[in-house]
Amino acid sequence: MFKSTWARYLVLGFLLAGLMDTLVPRESLVNWLSSSRGIGAAWLLGILLPGGPYVVFPLAGSLMRSGVEAAPLITFVSAKLLISRCAP
């Protein structure tokens, strides 16, 4: 069905974003990422998450729609794209 690798990662990113919206309560996610440990948690999530930008940006969009502040979102995307070696 998907002949290219980027299409698989794009589908994976949208699936993860949908699962996060469905399974994780919005209030707990916002409280967890907006606390003092939110930037560290976003950094760790960005480093450990497999995949490239096709996974990161749908998840970041889902987090943004949930009400997470800008600082953890920027940290998450930056950690994934600049630091992580898990990208394909």
pLDDT at 2: 57
- Domain ranges across the chain: 5-83
pTM over the 0.75 mark: no
SS3 content of the chain, % helix, strand, coil (to 5): 75, 0, 25
Tell me what pLDDT residue 59 has: 84
Tens of pLDDT, residue by residue over 11-54, are: 877 888 788 778 878 788 788 888 778 899 889 888 887 777 77
Residue 88's pLDDT is what?
53
Q: Which residues contact 78 (CB under 8 A, 6 or more apart)?
A: 46
